[in-house]
Amino acid sequence: MTPPTPLIAGNWKMNGTGQALGEARAIAEAATAAGVRLALCPPATLVERMSRETAGSKLEIGGQDCHSEAAGAFTGDVSAEMLVEAGARLVILGHSERRAGHGESDATVAAKVSAALRVGLEPIICVGETRAEREEGRALAVVTRQIRGSLPAELSGKAFTVAYEPVWAIGTGLTPTLEDITEVHHAIRATLKDMFGAEGAAPAILYGGSVKPGNAAEILALPEVGGALVGGASLKAADFLAIVAGAPKA
Ligand code: PEP
């Protein structure tokens, strides 16, 4: 099976108003020559404008979360259907800030993945251990459990991406060793193959957690790493494009 095209996706989290759209336009202009897939996931309020203002480019726009239901009495939530209508093609699901801050279980994430598939959104499903779990030697067990619980069987044959994001590396400036990233990515790939057979070789497995221009090239050069999910360093086009420049081309 041919390796998946690398994906570098930016997660703006709760950052960015209309003034920040210039950064997205600059990234969109560079997307054709990037040689990898590029995506930005802005706050829900910007999905439609960013999609419109970057239309015709190769930059893909995504949401940061979606509800499992299509519509209903869920104050503050956004459905997968709404994201698609706003122009999204991808959606981040199971980010640790949702799992920890909003009490999302593996089952909740799996239901959201099903919702994304219902409307043809490509889910980027996040997994990762806490610092305590790593120190207790449970990183592989935790990540494997999250993969098994958060990925519904209907993903078989569908386009999706997994992001390994150690919780302790997100926004801290800390990163795992290259050996540790490789070990976890191997475990994720083995689990995907166990769950989906040969098709488990297809999805890209991203690394996320304090990826910056200074460390991106060595992380992205690891054969097991199929791209990056980038938080803080995706807010400025210059930083994001410096990360993209370090990625091996497809
Ligand atoms: C993230 O939140 O997905 C992330 C990787 O953040 P940062 O790059 O800022 O660590």
CATH assignment at residue 132:
3.20.20.70
Q: Is 165 a catalytic residue?
A: yes
pLDDT for residue 4: 80
Coil, helix or strand at residue 227: strand
What is the domain count for the chain? 1
> Distance, CA 72 to ligand 1 centroid (Å)?
31
**Among 23, 60, 67, 95, which one carries the catalytic annotation?**
95
Ligand 1 atom 8: the closest Cα is on which residue?
A: 231
Q: Is 11 in the pocket of ligand 1 (CB under 6 A)?
A: yes
Q: Can you give the pLDDT of all 250 residues of the chain as single tens digits? A: 667 889 999 999 999 999 999 999 999 999 989 899 999 999 999 999 999 999 999 999 999 999 999 999 999 999 999 999 999 999 999 999 999 999 999 999 999 999 999 999 999 999 999 999 999 999 999 999 999 999 999 999 999 999 999 999 999 999 999 999 999 999 999 999 999 999 999 999 999 999 999 999 999 999 999 999 999 999 999 999 999 999 987 6
Q: Is 230 in the pocket of ligand 1 (CB under 6 A)?
A: yes
Q: DSSP H helical segments within 54-211, as ranges?
A: 80-86, 96-101, 106-118, 131-135, 139-150, 178-196
Residue 56: inside a domain: no
Whether the Cβ atoms of residue 1 and residue 17 lie closer than 8 Å to each other:
no
Q: Is 8 in the pocket of ligand 1 (CB under 6 A)?
A: no
pLDDT for residue 42: 98
**Among 53, 97, 122, 165, which one carries the catalytic annotation?**
165
Residue 8: inside a domain: no
Residue 42: inside a domain: no
> How far, in Å, CA of 163 to CA of 59, rounded?
19
> How far, in Å, CA of 177 to CA of 134, rounded?
13
Ligand 1 atom 4: the closest Cα is on which residue?
A: 231
179: containing domain: 88-227
Other C-beta atoms closer than 10 Å to the C-beta of 2 total 7
Ligand 1 atom 6: the closest Cα is on which residue?
A: 231
Q: Is 62 in the pocket of ligand 1 (CB under 6 A)?
A: no
Residue 97: inside a domain: yes
Q: Is 166 in the pocket of ligand 1 (CB under 6 A)?
A: no
> Distance, CA 230 to ligand 1 centroid (Å)?
5
Contacts of 214 (CB under 8 A, 6+ apart): none
Residue 93: inside a domain: yes
Other C-beta atoms closer than 10 Å to the C-beta of 180 total 14
pLDDT for residue 1: 61
Q: Which helix (H) or strand (E) holds 22?
A: helix 21-31
Point out the ligand 1 atom lying closest to the alpha carbon of residue 11: 3
Residue 187: inside a domain: yes
